[in-house]
Amino acid sequence: MRTPLVIGNWKMYGTLAEARALATGIRDGLTQLPHVEAVLCPPFTALAAVGEILAKSPIGLGAQNCHDEAAGPHTGEISPTMLLELGARTILLGHSERRREMGETDELINRKVRAVLAHGGTPVLCVGETEDERRQGLTFTTVEGQLRAGLAGVGAEDVPRIVLAYEPIWAIGTGVNATPAQAAEVHGYLRGLVSELASKEVAQGVRVLYGGSVKPENAHALLGQPEIDGALVGGASLNAQSFLAIVRNSARTGGAAKGD
């Protein structure tokens, strides 16, 4: 029974006033969340304010990154414990923008995954291939390497606490989403790997989200795939009505029956 999960990644967008207005609009439109979970990941500067707005709602708070240590001389960094103190339990790790722009390696991402687990949070491990890799037939090789490295040293008992996000880089922010069949194929492959790394039972419970130009118009078809357990939404999460439509679509199509 995998409850669909929709995460809004606001990236580096929004003043505090804009973040408050967006969070309020989403909260007011989602007073009930049957058979779906929703999480908002605002910029760090807006976490406390958005956390207050979401406090009595069913919507969760998350963050876009964290350091792998609880504290230390790391100027400009934010630790998992600082995020958890603010109520941000779901933490995106290994987003392709950070891999590319900040040089984050699989090894660093793995340390972050283990740190978030150790502090009781939910890591969302992002994997995905470039356009060239897909063209060269290297999609599975790429995501397998990222998944194996990201989960290295994670005990089978902790794997169920992890969320995976398949985000083909060519689909992020481009308006060109993976087709439902393309996404489902990779999701199935990832689930097979989790089955090998942990167990079949664990793999059946792990949520694999799709990310890459998810919009209200394509959410229904993508989330209707049994292998797609929700969405990681960038651009369309910056508009309350779009995000609400995606969440509603995933509740309707995802239902509570996945993984049966």
CA angle, corner 138, sides to 134 and 141, nearest 5? 135
Give how far Cα 42 sits from Cα of 7, 188, 194, Å: 10, 30, 29
Give whichever of 203 and 245 is closer to ligand PEP, judged by the CB atom: 245
Q: Residue 193 and residue 24: Cα distance in Å, rounded?
A: 39
Closest separation between CB of residue 79 and ligand PEP, Å? 22
Closest separation between CB of residue 215 and ligand PEP, Å? 8
Q: Which residues of the shown chain bind ligand PEP in the complex (CB under 6 A)?
A: 9, 167, 172-173, 211-214, 232-236
Name the closest residue to ligand PEP (Cβ): 234
Q: Residue 127 and residue 139: Cα distance in Å, rounded?
A: 10
- Annotated active-site residue in 37, 104, 129, 167: 167
Give whichever of 133 and 203 is closer to ligand PEP, judged by the CB atom: 133
Closest separation between CB of residue 177 and ligand PEP, Å? 8
Give whichever of 10 and 202 is closer to ligand PEP, judged by the CB atom: 10
For residue 95, indicate whether it is catalytic. Answer: yes
SS (H, E, C) 172-196: CCCCCCCCHHHHHHHHHHHHHHHHH
**Exposed, middle or buried, 111 (CB in 10 Å: 0-12/13-18/19+)?**
middle
Q: Residue 220 and residue 217: Cα distance in Å, rounded?
A: 7
**Exposed, middle or buried, 17 (CB in 10 Å: 0-12/13-18/19+)?**
exposed
Give whichever of 115 and 232 is closer to ligand PEP, judged by the CB atom: 232
Closest separation between CB of residue 173 and ligand PEP, Å? 4
Closest separation between CB of residue 155 and ligand PEP, Å? 27
Give how far Cα 89 sits from Cα of 115, 121, 168, 178, 179, Å: 12, 5, 25, 28, 30
Measuring CA to CA, which residue among 229, 252, 216, 233 is closest to residue 7? Answer: 233
- Annotated active-site residue in 95, 97, 133, 187: 95
For residue 35, indicate whether it is catalytic. Answer: no
Residues with active-site annotation = 95, 167
